[in-house]
Amino acid sequence: MADMGMDAYRFSIAWARILPSRPPISTSNHRIYGVGQVNQAGIDHYNKLINALLAKGIQPYVTLYHWDLPQALEDKYNGWLDRQIVDDFAEYAETCFAAFGDRVKHWITVNEPHTVAIQGYDAGLQAPGRCSVLLHLYCKSGNSGTEPYIVAHNFILAHAAVSRVYRTKYRAAQDGQLGMAFDVMWYEPMSSAAIDVEATKRAQEFQLGWFADPFFFGDYPATMRKRVGERLPRFTAEEAALVKGALDFVGINHYTTYYTRHNDTDIIVRLLNDTLADTGTISLPFKNGRAIGDRANSIWLYIVPRGMRSLMNYVKNRYNSPPIYITENGMDDSNSPFIALKDALKDTKRIKYHNDYLTNLAASIKEDGCDVRGYFAWSLLDNWEWAAGYSSRFGLYFVDYNDKLKRYPKSSVQWFKSLLHSS
């Protein structure tokens, strides 16, 4: 990273490494529920990483929760479905502030809370695999019409609780900032019809607005209140005051853009009684049989650079120019055993992706006045991509999974190096 000219690195801390599963400890004035005492080996591990980064002039940007919930909390009270998680997450975060906050100045509490709520509690495709059992036979339990909203609510309250701890006990000495990393697709109307334009606006409110609006306005979007009704949790006046203003910056994980149209007639979608049905929209990467852009390896990732600039302007206009960090942006190639290493390293498509997205990002800053303060490419190394596993390669560096994880720079490494050393 230092050789490339990078000055920041985003990584996550594993909650269970800091507070591994042990019998719960309770005292008269302190409680760590279901996770036990601090694991010093875990603290030492991250201290070594943070110190190594700083020694090379690289600032650590630390994510506290990238989907790795300690199993003890899932077993004890179903994790993010229970309000107890708010206190436990705040205690974990405070442990990290005390251990690392003298050197870490940028904290991201939660990575992609929207993805967790949808994929984990609506579609049931990711951990903990919950959804409405009547229509999703592979889920053992869950309720797609209520649980995503409960989990989202607890994520928001958890961030607010962490923010309160940091601002009252640590900020004066540590001078850091807290944000969240939101997964945000950009949406374009499928047609110029008013009904599709309105649907596109609604789709974004059910995506970014669902999580960002409470931090800026103290409540969920009015569209969500109207369409979800009593299934959407409510903030008390005290909670709303705690949540509003609790973000120091907005993290954006952005990869792709889809077309969106209005939908209220699809009987299958309506029967689902889930978040997709609640939006009354359908979003697709095709219009009239034509793709919105070239596709990367992932079936969902279409390359639409203009979406980056449009999204930055949306965030600026809706939330009054908040500080923004692009916390993820990138594309993947396939991990085909039939591609020779020398060919796999020639990632010209990735270079064009980053060039075009960064060009649009630069325009949003220079021409549109968006307050974008940083950009993180996903990812430095090829890695495990959740449901895609090792079939997908997002890295700037090629990792040889069959030869002791040796790393080889792809062409994009030299491209980034040239870009960073020339700026």
Parallel, antiparallel or unpaired: strands 406-409 and 31-32: unpaired
DSSP H helical ranges for 244-293: 267-272, 275-279
Q: Of 112, 147, 205, 239, which is the active-site residue? A: 112
Q: Give the other-Cβ count within 10 Å of 404's Cβ.
A: 6
Active-site annotation holds for 328: yes
Q: How far is CA 20 from CA 35, 70, 142, in A?
A: 6, 7, 26
d(CA 148, CA 228): 12
Query: How does DSSP classify residue 218?
Result: S
Q: How many CA atoms lie within 13 A of 422 on its CB side?
A: 6
DSSP H helical ranges for 229-371: 237-243, 267-272, 275-279, 306-319, 341-344, 348-366
Q: Of 91, 147, 328, 385, which is the active-site residue? A: 328
Paired tokens of 275: 């978040």
> Token pair 């079939």 is at which residue?
391
Paired tokens of 340: 């020779």
| Active site positions, annotated | 112, 328
